[in-house]
Amino acid sequence: MRVAVIQFPGSNADFDALHALTSVMGAQAHYVFYREPDLGPVDAVVIPGGFSFGDYLRAGALARFSPVIGAVEKFARAGGPVLGICNGFQVLTEMGLLPGALAKNAHQRFECRSVFTRVEGTGILDRTLARGDVLRLPVAHADGRYMCDEATRSVLEGEGRVALRYCTEDGADATSYPDNPNGSMGAIAGIYNEQRNVLGMMPHPERACETLLGNDQGRRVLEALLGYRKGSA
Amino acid sequence: MTAATSGNGSAGETNFAGDRQVNEALAREMGLSAEEWARTLETLGRLPTYTELGVVSVMWSEHCSYKSSRKHLARLPTEGPQVVQGPGENAGAVDLGDGWCAVFKMESHNHPSYIEPFQGAATGVGGILRDVFTMGARPVASLNSLRFGRPDHPKTPELLRGVVAGIAHYGNCIGVPMVGGELQFDPSYDGNILVNAFTVGLSRQDGLFFGKATGVGNSVLYVGARTGRDGIHGATMASAEFSDDVEQQLPTVQVGDPFMEKLLLEGCLEIFASDCLEGVQDMGAAGLTSSSVEMADRGGTGIRLNMDAIPRRTRALTPYEMLLSESQERMLMVAKPGREQEVLDICEKWQLDACVIGEVTDTGRFECVATPGLDPFSGSETNHKATQQTVVDLPIALLTSAAPKYDRPHTLASTTRAPRPAPADAAAPESYLLDLLASPNVGSRAWVWHQYDHIVRDGTVLGPEQSDAAVIRLFCGEGPDAPRKYIAISADCDGRKVALHPRQGAAMAVAECTRNVVCSGAKPLGLTDCLNFGNPENPWVMGQFKEAIEGLAEACLALDAPVVSGNVSLYNDTNGAPILPTPTVAVVGQLEDVSHRLTLGFQSTGDSIALLGGGARTLEGSEWWAQHGDAEKNADAHKENGTWVDLGFDLELETRLQNLVLQAARTQLLRSAHDVSTGGMAVCLAECCEAGGLGAEVTLPGQSDALTRWYGEDPSRVVVSTDATKRAALESLAKEHNVPLTWIGTVGGDALSLDGTAAVSLGDIARARASALTSIVGV
């Protein structure tokens, strides 16, 4: 399994993704610099966390004009699995591969800590996770408050495209802070595209793959990505 | 560069817009004393130019010259087999084995952070990161040590919010985890907060870079952000007391751009790897001036700069402004012969401005030439016809080795008294516990560290509030099979203790810091310091400084933690009132094996709890005393009477204790370890309980009264827990190390019981701790 980890100026969880994919999961992964017009032969793409282009203008807004974006879009439209984590999720919404937007956290501060998320919907994660599974994962973002218009939201909910939702430790709905760390609409933490091969999520699974770091529940997310086959969702 | 050779010789009168008449009044305005002005005239044998006067005043500022502290700093131990690089470079380095080293430093950004908390703190983080990556190291973790005024001071909430948000803004964006630190509130910081930032990086020992301008004729390159007017005379501002007009100093504060710094970091590491540099230094305090002068000084050379070539971001900058600007995210590099283009190519990849601005000379002088009226933004051709003038022509030595050095008068206390006894009319000990846990000086710091990305780079094995020190995994090399090493880092100082007895209090700061590192399972390797004091022209403050240095030196020697880098911040006064003497230290240690790591929380019901070290003998200087014992009045009394208080610190016992804990960690005799510090034994136990989610029943024997036993903050004490089968082995190890061991209780239940009294529930402990900062800043 060959994975491209996209590297923008200002990406900073690119190392985390590469480390988790190679050292922990045993996959072949390599950086692809934002100026590259092609991805080369790869089976999956990860858009990592960070502050691409300093998050200037809006988080992810400038990254979408990078040469590599066309190649990512092509790869996704052809059904290849794409995982956008944190800033990667923001880039995916700016590119239009995923609907909605990530606004500033409700409390206006950056927030880094463990949260609980509940697996829902149908898509990439189905390979290793079942609906209702609860994952403890870290978040680390200032702009993670998912928002979209009502019509989009009913499509996402109706079609089972909400992939992850913030919840309590026992899986109940997150009704307020701190269970919902950023004030996301419907406590949405991650969503799929219509084809279910593109997943954007604010929590960081690549930082939760080792017991040495106190949490290995993110492995199941990366396993799902690495095990994804076109059309399997 | 060619233009730089066409100056018109020695500097004299120049004519640049904004230049002012050079005289003693102007020199005084720029911070020089009457003697320093006379010395300048005598050395030069002529009037300095306006630009030269700016250069001299900033290089002779306390911040750049260490003129009041240098004499005393020489007392600090800086050598040891583990030291790879000692003080004098951008950062120090210690050996991690197999050709790798940890590169680290701590630095203050106190004055700017009070004037503008967000940018002041943010650029403090940016500055310390550059100090570390300038050495060729990739930054792997940061800490910060913060001091604010009393919690109910009207400015405290905004200062705390601003500083934490500024640190978060910069550190999170650049992607270096902020894994811990410390935070204290005291009225002495009401008008002068402290922001001390620490960063550690990883480098090959043979991959270190130094700030040396060597090779006559080599090109000097400017890399990074363009120069603006921000931070002009920042170093001078940081070398003066505050008065009531502090807001007017706003233009001296720099503005940071962490995205630019991230590009600069990646670009620099790539340039270093290509081996095309002779030397490199970041433009920190006093910007282009100090970086050029210090590089030439270390290289034993001279530097000539063509000011016309400096990249700018604003109109009509004068040479004076460009030389004194503290615009952030800029580096000065000296390329190997013929390798300039490689540097420029890598800069292009990372979208960094870069150009040749001068050359290394053999003159031993700092020379700058500029064309009057030249402004690249003006669009006018006419001004290019003007002739370049020499605006600076100064001997390097005048700005470095021949800068003023003072042996300031100091006052030592005339008497040292025993600590005061606990008040006889105090209530039962357990009744104070929840109030103490809710104190901003004691309770949870989660409101702060939740705003920091403390896990980026997948190296944070133990982060904030998990262990007494943060434990970081280092990837030594590229690829999935790169060997790993593990370091532990902590930053500490309790200014209250230093005020009571500067020598013992400073030694206790070192001891607490190495103790914290040991309590995480690591052996201390080296130390960096950030010496924050008041006005050195006040003999009482100078006495504190001198004695604190002696204390640091004694403890660093005894605990084998040589000083490899550091920073001095004086003039931390507002309207004549100094801060608590605050010699903050940070220590880097290494774990032999990651399985030796220890957390502070109790692990398992039924485990035995032991106190290693002696009992508490005094409450004075404690948080309890601050809340109930009229600490402010006592502190004033010490000053008036010239009295210090014997805190009874026993450095030999401390050394034996730390050896014991390290040995116990390495032989895996312990389930947890936590040193007794702010708040005393009761607070220490409550923290062990909350972190582990388990209660405990503890009885504390000892000769002191109950209040002192539970809330005294005497040093050299560690609370450990162990599985009952290992009690005998731990006892014999303690005996071997000649350290008192007392079994004081058992882990279990959902409450903490002190001396068999009514227990305090885990829920109440958690609620009290959680309220400590939110009571100031809201949820």
Token duo for residue B423: 């008040």
CB pair distance less than 8 Å for B458 and A54: no
Q: What is d(CA B654, CA B717) in angstroms, rounded to the nearest whole number?
A: 8
Chain B partners of A206 at a C-beta cutoff of 8 Å? 458
- The kind and range of the H/E element at B673 are strand B672-675
Longest dimension (CA), chain B: 89
Q: Is A122 helix (H, G, I), strand (E, B) or coil?
A: coil
Between strands A162-167 and B470-475, the pairing is unpaired
> Which among B202, B324, B307, B222 is positioned nearest to B264, based on CA atoms?
B222
Q: Which of B371-405 are b and which e, b meaning 16 or more Cβ less than 10 Å from the residue's Cβ?
A: bbbbbeeeeeeeeeeeebbbbbbbbbebbbeebee
Q: What is d(CA B666, CA B593) in angstroms, rounded to the nearest whole number?
A: 8
Q: What is d(CA B549, CA B528) in angstroms, rounded to the nearest whole number?
A: 13
Cα B654 to chain center, whole Å?
A: 24
> Which among B231, B118, B89, B256 is positioned nearest to B174, based on CA atoms?
B256
Q: What pLDDT score does A233 carry?
A: 45
Provide the edge-to-edge strand list for the sheet that holds B672-675.
B672-675, B717-722, B608-613, B741-747, B696-698, B751-754, B760-761
- Is residue A233 a part of any domain in this protein? no
Question: What DSSP state is assigned to residue B394?
Answer: E
CB pair distance less than 8 Å for B172 and A140: yes
> Which among B108, B269, B117, B264 is positioned nearest to B194, based on CA atoms?
B108
List pLDDT tens digits, range B752-761.
999 998 799 9
**Residue B252: band (very low, low, confident or very high) from pLDDT cuts 50, 70, 90:** low
CB pair distance less than 8 Å for B456 and A140: yes
Choice among A15-19, B26-30, B560-564 with the minimum mean pLDDT:
B26-30
Q: What is d(CA B505, CA B90) in angstroms, rounded to the nearest whole number?
A: 28
Token duo for residue B486: 């593990």
As a whole number, mean pLDDT of residues A158-177 equals 97
Q: What pLDDT score does B3 carry?
A: 38
The answer to whether residue A207 neighbours chain B at the CB level (below 8 Å) is yes
Answer whether B505's CB lies under 8 Å from B494's CB.
yes
Q: What pLDDT score does B8 carry?
A: 46
Q: What is d(CA B210, CA B93) in angstroms, rounded to the nearest whole number?
A: 12
Token duo for residue A149: 């218009």
Q: What pLDDT score does B249 carry?
A: 66
How many structural domains are present in chain A? 1
For every residue of B24-55, DSSP letters joined together read: HHHHHHTT--HHHHHHHHHHHSSPPPHHHHHH
**Residue B5: band (very low, low, confident or very high) from pLDDT cuts 50, 70, 90:** very low
- Is residue A58 a part of any domain in this protein? yes
Q: How far A127 CA lies from chain B's nearest CA (Å)? A: 25
As a whole number, mean pLDDT of residues B234-248 equals 67
Between strands A44-47 and A2-7, the pairing is parallel
Q: How far A175 CA lies from chain B's nearest CA (Å)? A: 17
List pLDDT tens digits, range B32-55.
999 999 999 999 999 999 999 999
Q: What is d(CA B350, CA B542) in angstroms, rounded to the nearest whole number?
A: 47
Q: Is B276 helix (H, G, I), strand (E, B) or coil?
A: coil
- Domain of residue A108, CATH code: 3.40.50.880
- Is residue A232 a part of any domain in this protein? no
State percent of chain B over pLDDT 70: 94
The answer to whether residue A212 neighbours chain B at the CB level (below 8 Å) is yes
CB pair distance less than 8 Å for A138 and B455: yes
Question: What DSSP state is assigned to residue A21?
Answer: I
Q: What is d(CA B708, CA B729) in angstroms, rounded to the nearest whole number?
A: 30
Q: Is A163 helix (H, G, I), strand (E, B) or coil?
A: strand
Question: Over 50: is that where the pLDDT of B734 sits?
Answer: yes
Chain A partners of B460 at a C-beta cutoff of 8 Å? 213
DSSP E strand boundaries for B205-252: 219-224
C-alpha distance from residue B153 to each of B113, B159, B775 (Å) = 17, 10, 13
The half-sphere exposure of B422 on its side-chain side, counting CA atoms within 13 A, is 24
Question: Over 80: is that where the pLDDT of B236 sits?
Answer: no
Q: What is d(CA A133, CA B484) in angstroms, rounded to the nearest whole number?
A: 33
CB pair distance less than 8 Å for A207 and B458: yes
- Is residue A125 a part of any domain in this protein? yes
**Residue B104: band (very low, low, confident or very high) from pLDDT cuts 50, 70, 90:** very high
Choose the catalytic residue: A86, A148, A167, A209: A86
Q: Is B85 helix (H, G, I), strand (E, B) or coil?
A: strand
**Residue B256: band (very low, low, confident or very high) from pLDDT cuts 50, 70, 90:** confident
Choice among B230-244, B319-333, B707-721 with the minimum mean pLDDT:
B230-244
> Which among B290, B108, B65 is positioned nearest to B198, based on CA atoms?
B108
The answer to whether residue A51 neighbours chain B at the CB level (below 8 Å) is yes
- Is residue A231 a part of any domain in this protein? no
Instruction: Pick the residue from chain B with its C-alpha nearest to A12.
Output: B175
Q: Indicate the angle between helix axes B651-666 and B539-558, nearest 10 degrees.
A: 40
Q: What pLDDT score does B10 carry?
A: 63
CB pair distance less than 8 Å for A204 and B455: yes
State percent of chain B over pLDDT 90: 83
CB pair distance less than 8 Å for A111 and B450: yes
Which of B350, B453, B594 is opposite residue A9, by nearest beta carbon?
Answer: B350
**Residue B479: band (very low, low, confident or very high) from pLDDT cuts 50, 70, 90:** confident
> Which among A11, A4, A19 is positioned nearest to A218, based on CA atoms?
A19
Answer whether A190's CB lies under 8 Å from A119's CB.
no
CB pair distance less than 8 Å for A213 and B455: yes
Token duo for residue B405: 């050095």
Question: Over 50: is that where the pLDDT of B731 sits?
Answer: yes
Q: Which of B295-308 are b and which e, b meaning 16 or more Cβ less than 10 Å from the residue's Cβ?
A: bbbbbebbbbbbbb
As a whole number, mean pLDDT of residues B373-391 equals 77
Q: How far B597 CA lies from chain A's nearest CA (Å)? A: 11
Answer whether B218's CB lies under 8 Å from B550's CB.
no
Residue B8, phi then psi, degrees to nearest 5: -100, 35
Q: What angle do CA B728, B732, B735 make, to 5 degrees?
A: 140
Q: What is d(CA A145, CA A182) in angstroms, rounded to the nearest whole number?
A: 5
Q: What pLDDT score does B1 carry?
A: 36
As a whole number, mean pLDDT of residues B591-600 equals 98
User: Is B410 among the residues known to form the active site?
Assistant: no
Q: What is d(CA B598, CA B747) in angstroms, rounded to the nearest whole number?
A: 17
Chain A partners of B171 at a C-beta cutoff of 8 Å? none
Which of B165, B174, B257 is opposite residue A12, by nearest beta carbon?
Answer: B174
Quote the pTM value. 0.95
Choose the catalytic residue: B72, B109, B674, B737: B109
Chain B partners of A20 at a C-beta cutoff of 8 Å? 458
> Which among A8, A58, A64, A88 is positioned nearest to B351, based on CA atoms?
A8
Which of A10, A15, A212 is opposite residue B457, by nearest beta carbon?
Answer: A15
Answer whether A145's CB lies under 8 Å from A184's CB.
yes
Q: Is residue A65 exposed (0-12), middle (13-18) or buried (19+ Cβ within 10 Å)? A: exposed
Q: What pLDDT score does B7 carry?
A: 42
Residues in CB range of B401: below 8 A, 6 or more apart: B297
CB pair distance less than 8 Å for B172 and A111: no
Q: Print the domain residue range for A36.
A: 2-226
User: Is A19 among the residues known to form the active site?
Assistant: no
As a whole number, mean pLDDT of residues B418-432 equals 85
Q: Is residue B132 exposed (0-12), middle (13-18) or buried (19+ Cβ within 10 Å)? A: buried
Choose the catalytic residue: A19, A94, A148, A206: A206
Residues in CB range of B538: below 8 A, 6 or more apart: B573, B578
The answer to whether residue A12 neighbours chain B at the CB level (below 8 Å) is yes
Residue with tokens 């550091």: B566
Backbone angle region of B523, left / alpha / beta, with phi > 0 → left and psi within -120 to 50 → alpha: beta
Answer whether B581's CB lies under 8 Å from B516's CB.
no
Q: What is d(CA B126, CA B171) in angstroms, rounded to the nearest whole number?
A: 8
Q: A interface mutation test: which of B173, B453, B779 has the most A CBs within 10 A?
A: B453
CB pair distance less than 8 Å for A207 and B455: yes
Chain A partners of B458 at a C-beta cutoff of 8 Å? 15-16, 19-20, 206-207, 210, 213
